Structure 1
Amino acid sequence: MNFVKRAGLSLWARRGRALITLATFLAISVMVLAGVLVDDATARAELAAKRSVGAEVNLDVDMSQLADTGQLQAPRIDAATVDRIGALPEVQSYTYTIWDRALLTGRDKLVDGGPKDPMGPGGTVGMGVLDSSLLPDFRSGRSTLLSGEHITAADQEKKQLLIEERLARRNGLKVGDRITLTGNDEKTTGKFTVGGIYRDPRPTAEADAEYGISPANMIYGSVGGLSALDSAGDGPRKVGKATFVLRDADGQGPFKSGAKRIAGSALTGFKLDTNDKALQQMTGPLGGIRSTATLAMWLMGLAGAAVLALLVNLAVKQRRTEYGVLLAMGERKNRLIAQQALEIVAVAAVAVGLSALFTPALTQSAGQALLGREASAAERKLDSWQPPAPGSTGIYQGIDPDDRPVENADPIDRITVALGPADLATVGGVGLGIGLLATAVPAASVLRLSPRTILTKGK
């Protein structure tokens, strides 16, 4: 008799055991498929988050390196070198900043009520930027442009400014108005045009962590315009920090290698740090449900595999007489093993098919519930963070300013489960691998014997 027909008759004759095997296979298939679906869904959510946040690398002063070398003055790097780094193929866009003390002169005044100005009366920080839209505060959404336009690379040799709305309101300024600024030497002056007005939500009395002035008095200007206020001469333009937005998050390694090759020793005192804080804040809950689903998949899969192995081992041993008779009639051993494998494949195929019908909906419901709890916990943790009091660093209160949550980077609280051919192939491969392994071991132990030994030895 054809071994395929024999396999079908065997499954029908032992349908009770076949149903138990099917149930075991179904449990394994459901758990493995659920784990695969959760992993795929979280991977898609993480990829979408990466694309929305972007890959950002910051060139900034390495304070630990300065402390080790005893250097007191922060290093600077030539703007031309930064431009060459920005031309690397991995870079989508970039900006850099220069800063110095600037004085408002004439009728314009600073906003009152801020922290005591460490730079003297009328002093503010004039931060020159190549592209203000790429500054971290604007990219994160903490600061927003209310009117006018951002400073761009096309404006770098113009005398263009962005001012905070409270400073604009204090002096009755609007887009297109002119402001006179005096450089750090208190002699060199220049007239600048208000190109845009932005909003910084920080209180007027809160000192900027880096510059110590009120955020209401922070001025952003074109790099060429502010450099013209520097009476030191017409030497190379020097940059204190830069931000590079990459085309792909996976391009960080080649970008850093290229930057070090271009800049060489000019990077001494600087560090290239990937700014993935927003991404980590958004994707944190995904890691929690992924680990939970993976653990459940392994536990249930291993338990199911153990039960399946016991069932198959028992079934093979109970069919010793059948094997002996078939071998005595001239049936080849490889055909008997093929029959056993076919029976397992048939049961496994039905189990995988059934699991594909309801596992996606079940996984969507369960995964969404788990993710909702993880996201809520992450939101509560973010909401509990309180900034240090105005004028305080927060160190003595146990507050780390670097733990400040990134705005507009809410933890992901939704995933979409989708079943694809690759998922079914993965589950089918795992199920068949377990089944065939469970069949091969006991079958080989029986079929290595001769027909006479099998029939005379009994059970």
Structure 2
Amino acid sequence: MSFVKRAGLSLLARRGRTLILLALFAVICTLVLGGFLVQRAAESAAEGAKQRVGTEATLQWDMEKAFAKGGFGGTLPDNARLGSAAADRLGRSELVTSHNYTLESGTVPVSAKPVAGVAPPAGLPAEMREDRMLPLLGVRDSTRLRDFRDGHFTLLSGRGIGAEDRDRDAVLVEERFAATNALSVGSRVTLGSAEGKNPREFEVVGVYRDPARSPETWAAPQMEPGNKLIVPLDAIGRLDPSERLDGGMRINEATYLLRDPSTLDRFRKQAEAAGLDLDVFKLDVNDKQYRQLVGPIQNVAAFATGTVWLVGLAGAAVIGLLIALWTRERRRELGVLLAVGERRWRLVAQQIVEVSVVAVLALGAAAAAAQAIAPGVADALVSREVADVPPPVPQQPGRATTEQAPAVAPIDRLNIDLRTRDLRNVALVGLAIVLATVVVPTGRIVRMQPRAILTKGE
């Protein structure tokens, strides 16, 4: 008789044991499959988070290291000056999705007056009373400024400053400055350098709002948030040629949005290849957003991985024990079959077929059960992890630094999707359990001679 047919008859004859084994296998497969589903969903969500926020790297001169070495006697050496040309070379890396750089400077308005919330007090020296210096920020792309990106600054009309404005004299003004000087999109305003030289006419391309309040007491125009003007970086060079450096412009810092947080080491090497001395410049990485997003799901993924291993090993042990006991009870059957000439490998194969049939049926039931149960379990696990995340500390408008990042809500839901790969992984786990639990106990018996099996006793 075919050992496959004999396996089928054995399963029918031992219905009770078959149902017990089926239920046990179904529970194990459901837990293992659910673990795989949650684990893969967490990995997918983490990958999506990388694409959503990336990691911001900020490159700037390392002032602390310079002062620790005794400073530079009040002057900066050439290698301590960061230029836009080198920053652009690094910005073209395949690891970078976008980049920006800034330069803080000053300007004296020729055809406009500063915003003054409070009149200067009596007795103030004339040079302070007549101070007209305004803060001027040169950028490559204003939309990449943290204050705009985080929603602290709001563009009210027009547009921001972009890379296409490099050769244009364009300016983005705050609404208080626009109201004081009756400016709107398309208006013209003449600005000069910090020394009041090289006056140039700038076109207002946009008006933005800074929620920071004006000082309640008199302050210099540079301290008034409404006086902050944003222009293309190269426009500062046209006002003050001394700011030019190596065919580009001097900059205070450059920021790069990396596609993947794990590529930081490669990015450092590319920075050195671009001619940037990382002993002089520091490369700060801010992956706070990424950690906020993926922190809870990484914990859930770790829990799911542990569940897969624990259930797999415990299930193999329990099933192995049951099959070993049931195989021991079938010693006489195996001994008789060997005595009538049945080959040993066919007896082992029969046991494998019996358990495999049960495992396949259990896998089918587990596929339906895991797909129904896993989403609820995943949401409950993620919700518990999210509840343990401390609330973000509010960030002051206009005070974004390299250590700060916009508060983002952590990922609190996982998309569970059953795929063929998941069933294949569980099938491989089941196959390993079948082979481990059947071959060992059955093999120990069939290695014996038929007479020894039949006479040794139950």
Q: Is the contact between residue 185 and residue 231 of structure 1 (CA under 8 Å) also seen in structure 2?
A: no
State the alpha-carbon separation in 2 of the partners of residues 113 and 405 from structure 1.
Answer: 33
| Aligned CA distance change for structure 1 residues 401 and 91 (closer, same or farther; 3 Å) | closer
| Aligned CA distance change for structure 1 residues 305 and 70 (closer, same or farther; 3 Å) | farther
CA deviations 1:210-246 (Å, max 9, x no partner) are: xx94544332211111122325376532122112334
Q: Is the contact between residue 387 and residue 401 of structure 1 (CA under 8 Å) also seen in structure 2?
A: no
| Aligned CA distance change for structure 1 residues 158 and 344 (closer, same or farther; 3 Å) | same
State the alpha-carbon separation in 1 of the partners of residues 62 and 174 from structure 2.
Answer: 29
Residue 286 of structure 1 and its aligned partner are, at CA, apart by 1.4
Q: Secondary structure at the match of 1:232?
A: helix
State the alpha-carbon separation in 1 of the partners of residues 414 and 451 from structure 2.
Answer: 61
Return the match for 1:178 from 185, 188, 191: 188
Residue 71 of structure 1 and its aligned partner are, at CA, apart by 3.0
Q: Is the contact between residue 312 and residue 429 of structure 2 (CA under 8 Å) also seen in structure 1?
A: no
State the alpha-carbon separation in 2 of the partners of residues 295 and 402 from structure 1.
Answer: 36
Alignment of 1:112 with 2:117, yes or no, is: yes
| Amino acid in structure 2 at the alignment position of 1:374 | E
Q: Secondary structure at the match of 2:135?
A: strand
Q: Secondary structure at the match of 2:391?
A: helix
| Aligned CA distance change for structure 1 residues 292 and 246 (closer, same or farther; 3 Å) | closer
Return the match for 1:382 from 363, 374, 391: 391
Matches within 5 A, 1:27-426: 27-71=27-71, 75-110=80-115, 112=117, 121-204=131-214, 213=223, 215-230=225-240, 232=242, 235-236=245-246, 237-246=249-258, 252-265=264-277, 267-378=278-389, 381-383=390-392, 385-386=393-394, 406-407=406-407, 409-426=408-425
| Amino acid in structure 1 at the alignment position of 2:344 | K
TM-score (norm 1): 0.85
Residue equivalent to 1:17: 17
Residue 124 of structure 1 and its aligned partner are, at CA, apart by 3.4
Residue equivalent to 2:124: none
Q: Secondary structure at the match of 1:176?
A: coil
Identity %: 39
| Aligned CA distance change for structure 1 residues 382 and 292 (closer, same or farther; 3 Å) | same
Residue equivalent to 1:26: 26
- Structure 1 unmatched ranges of 5 or more: 207-211, 394-399
Residue 457 of structure 1 and its aligned partner are, at CA, apart by 0.7
Q: Is the contact between residue 27 and residue 304 of structure 1 (CA under 8 Å) also seen in structure 2?
A: no
RMSD: 3.1
CA deviations 1:319-355 (Å, max 9, x no partner) are: 1111111111111111111111111111111111101
Residue 13 of structure 1 and its aligned partner are, at CA, apart by 1.5
State the alpha-carbon separation in 2 of the partners of residues 64 and 77 from structure 1.
Answer: 16
State the alpha-carbon separation in 2 of the partners of residues 295 and 447 from structure 1.
Answer: 36
Q: Is the contact between residue 135 and residue 243 of structure 1 (CA under 8 Å) also seen in structure 2?
A: no
| Aligned CA distance change for structure 1 residues 36 and 113 (closer, same or farther; 3 Å) | farther
Q: Secondary structure at the match of 2:33?
A: helix
CA deviations 1:352-393 (Å, max 9, x no partner) are: 110101211211112123323433443xx225x2558x99x9
TM-score (norm 2): 0.85
Q: Is the contact between residue 344 and residue 436 of structure 1 (CA under 8 Å) also seen in structure 2?
A: no
Structure 1 window deviating more from structure 2 (322-331 vs 164-173): it is 164-173
State the alpha-carbon separation in 1 of the partners of residues 227 and 384 from structure 2.
Answer: 42
- Structure 2 unmatched ranges of 5 or more: 120-126, 217-221
CA deviations 1:70-105 (Å, max 9, x no partner) are: 336773222222222223344443222222233345
The count of aligned residue pairs is 437
| Amino acid in structure 2 at the alignment position of 1:427 | V
Q: Is the contact between residue 60 and residue 82 of structure 2 (CA under 8 Å) also seen in structure 1?
A: no
CA deviations 1:175-196 (Å, max 9, x no partner) are: 1222333323344433322211
| Aligned CA distance change for structure 1 residues 305 and 129 (closer, same or farther; 3 Å) | same
State the alpha-carbon separation in 2 of the partners of residues 303 and 36 from structure 1.
Answer: 17
Q: Secondary structure at the match of 2:361?
A: helix
Q: Is the contact between residue 261 and residue 287 of structure 2 (CA under 8 Å) also seen in structure 1?
A: no
| Aligned CA distance change for structure 1 residues 369 and 203 (closer, same or farther; 3 Å) | farther
Q: Is the contact between residue 281 and residue 406 of structure 1 (CA under 8 Å) also seen in structure 2?
A: no
Structure 1 window deviating more from structure 2 (32-41 vs 240-249): it is 240-249
State the alpha-carbon separation in 2 of the partners of residues 274 and 293 from structure 1.
Answer: 30
Q: Secondary structure at the match of 1:77?
A: coil
Residue equivalent to 2:446: 447
| Aligned CA distance change for structure 1 residues 387 and 133 (closer, same or farther; 3 Å) | closer
Structure 1 window deviating more from structure 2 (104-113 vs 275-284): it is 104-113
State the alpha-carbon separation in 2 of the partners of residues 41 and 124 from structure 1.
Answer: 51
Structure 1 window deviating more from structure 2 (212-221 vs 236-245): it is 212-221
